[in-house]
Structure 1
Amino acid sequence: MTHPMPFSQALRERTRSVHEQSEGSSFVQELMAGDGSRDDYVAMLAQHYFIYRALENGALTMAADPVASLFLSPELDRLPAIEADLAFLLGPDWAGRIAPLPSTARYAARIDEVGESWPGGFVAHHYTRYLGDLSGGQIIRTILQRQYGFGSEGVGFYAFPGIAKPKAFKDAYRARLDAVDWPEDERDRVVAEVGRAFRFNTDLFVDLARAKSAAA
């Protein structure tokens, strides 16, 4: 079956509005502008721990799937870096000091669900998180270092030492998306799941802002 445009392009265009809504969250905008605080960053990173734990647990299951396994790469794994960042930022007892917000719990539960049973859905979440990290990670890391006084520690989440050329890596990832022989209805389901992932992110930023206000 021929398609009017590469799937990766269609995926990006069909989820553009919900992606922009997530990126435009006031919590994120304030953090990137230096109007947030170090504690805001730590709170966000703590929620990412639960999201990436679900993703990388799902990857263990999906490693046996002929399609999902094509997208797995140890150079992308974020959990070890997040754990090191949280240990630096919160201390050795960090694991007992964090808990998922309601939106994070729903997000992680959905990743757990697709990671057990639906390769296309898992790829949708994998794509949303990791390509986003690669796309903006270095810029965000630099901003955080400048705004909040971090050195090399505390922002390892945004460093990909095993990926020397992020653009080439992303291009190869998108080429694999384009090459997957999903029928049209499955492509539609994957697009919808990417949109769902972006909405989970938006909900998380709303929850973070709400928790910040409640603590003030």
Structure 2
Amino acid sequence: MSVTTDARPFSATLRASTLEVHDRANYSTYMRALLGGELTQDGYTQLAIQYYFIYGAIEAASDAMAGDPVGGEFVFDELRRLPNLERDLAHLAGPGWRSTISPLASTREYVARIREASTWAGGYVAHHYTRYLGDIAGGQVIRRTLEKNYDVAEAGALFYHFDGIASAPRFRDTYRAKLDNAPWDEAERARVIDETLVAFECNVAVFEELASRLDEFRA
């Protein structure tokens, strides 16, 4: 189990404890190809499809956690991605997209893990943190890449638009303060770190499965 007994705020400990797997996700073969402009638009569409299933699970968990005294602190309507993903997929995959898309095996496993972990507020927060803070920060690099290299600016890239957040840095500070103030003891904080590591590994697995199909997606 992860060790969290240090003098840093919990948000700093969480970030430091997950930095290695965070970097593996960010610098995965698939993400390097996407950011390098090496893929067709369909190569990006496949990622958006996987996100549709992943965020469906996270946002269903948000609905369930809304009244929880701990988990409810991390339910932000301005973060919800499903409405934008639905608009993106209508543009990228066509009006009949709901009947044509399916999750990868790694995505199905990820969704199952989100549902299992989110029976506990700390597990829910672990998966919530892993996805949303990255979308607000590093996701904006992907947004600019889509505009520059894939001719996708509005519809198709709305997933990366957070119009309800006036200041991303202030929002991240607010989120980290909630992590620091959550009433978890050391053992629970260790569990949150462990589940966050699992969440990042789930992301890595999705990127690896997408990378296994790069020959289909290269421009």
Do they superpose with TM above 0.5? yes
Aligned to 1:205: 207
Which moved further from structure 2: 144-153 or 186-195? 144-153
Structure 1 contact 67–119 (Cα < 8 Å) conserved = yes
Alpha-carbon distance in structure 1 between the residues aligned to 2:69 and 2:217: 46
Aligned to 2:41: 38
Q: Post-superposition shift, 1:3?
A: 5.0
TM-score (norm 2): 0.94
Give 5+ residue unaligned stretches, structure 1.
none
Alpha-carbon distance in structure 2 between the residues aligned to 1:211 and 1:3: 42
Alpha-carbon distance in structure 2 between the residues aligned to 1:16 and 1:3: 17
1:28-177 aligned at under 5 Å gives the runs 28-115=31-118, 117-177=119-179
Structure 1 contact 31–41 (Cα < 8 Å) conserved = yes
Deviations 1:17-44 (A, max 9, x none): 1111111101101100111221110001
- Over the aligned positions, Cα root-mean-square deviation in angstroms equals 1.4
Q: Post-superposition shift, 1:142?
A: 1.2
Structure 1 contact 76–160 (Cα < 8 Å) conserved = yes
Q: What amino acid sits opposite 1:146 in the alignment?
A: K
Q: Post-superposition shift, 1:96?
A: 1.2
Q: Which has the higher helix share?
A: 1
Higher relative contact order (CA 8 A, sep 6+): 2
Q: Post-superposition shift, 1:214?
A: 6.7
Alpha-carbon distance in structure 2 between the residues aligned to 1:125 and 1:175: 17
Alpha-carbon distance in structure 2 between the residues aligned to 1:158 and 1:214: 25
For these two proteins, the number of residue pairs brought into alignment is: 214
TM-score (norm 1): 0.95
Alignment equivalent of 1:180, drawn from 179, 182, 185: 182
Where has structure 1 moved over 2 Å in runs of 4 or more? 211-216
